[in-house]
A and B are shown apart, each in its own frame.
Chain A
Amino acid sequence: MLVDNNKAGEEINFDEIFHQYYSPLCNYALKIVKDVSTSEDIVQTLFIQLWENKKLNSVNNLESFLIRATKFKCLDYLKTNYIKNEIKYDSLPEVIHTNKKNIEEEDIEPLLHYFTAKLPPKTREVFLLSRKSGLTYKEIASELEISVKTVEGQMGRALRMMKKVLKENEFLSLLLFLKI
């Protein structure tokens, strides 16, 4: 998919990748920096840099790379602005001043949001009705006028994707070291 190296091809790829990852990454960043426009700035800057460095063609695991790059940019932002006293101390997430174990635990919330934003629209709708609004499968089924089986299927799909994201991004292996 990313083999095409000519300019037009690169731009198509770039647009494709951008649409695919922009919103999920912004959601991820939002959970760390807690500011909508800042998280958008961070992700946009990341993509501009990737574009200019022509990095997209040489990255092995793109998704994992994008998530980690976003994370580091967010932490960088927090550190810089923490020094500048622009962020109140209590709003600082633990990532900055705790040990590694907590950093990984802190990863979960942004990752959950990244993952949710990346779900296909229908799956996401079902997932959110369950997770956010706390509806039962039956209630979701009647709300969306679909069968309970479909709801079950969508939820299972969501969970499987969730696991896939974790595994592919090596977060799983990292998190498995934690004694939960």
Chain B
Amino acid sequence: MKIIKGIEIPLTICVSYTIISLGAALFELLFGINTTTHTNSLLMFIWTCIAVLTLSIHYLFDNWPPILMILVQYIIAMGLVLLSVLIFSFITHDHVTEYLSIFLSFSIPYAIGATCFYISVFTYAKKQNQLLEQIQKTSKKS
């Protein structure tokens, strides 16, 4: 068996927790035990997938201004979230009326996550660009 160490420990915990939670939620929903907790677990998972997939299509908007790109990605993500809620409302026979609550539940974590993600990527690139600029300027002078 592979030894789990270092960064693999929190990753393994996250994956195991996700599998157990989703497995339990799906199992209970299949057997007709329909609780809000199970529906929420599945919806949270779907929304997380939507958010991650939407962020990962960043390269399609390479030539767009960053703000417009983030806005478009958010609209795509929000559209998919509302669609998932609509589909879920037919499956679970729960008519979701709290759209404002769903909008906020998704928007706030998405905004925080997207901001952190882009700040780290752009900061890294900015730092490298500054270094390059300094190197190229100094080498021209010499």
A-B complex is real? no
Residues of chain A touching chain B, judged by Cβ–Cβ distance below 8 Å, are none
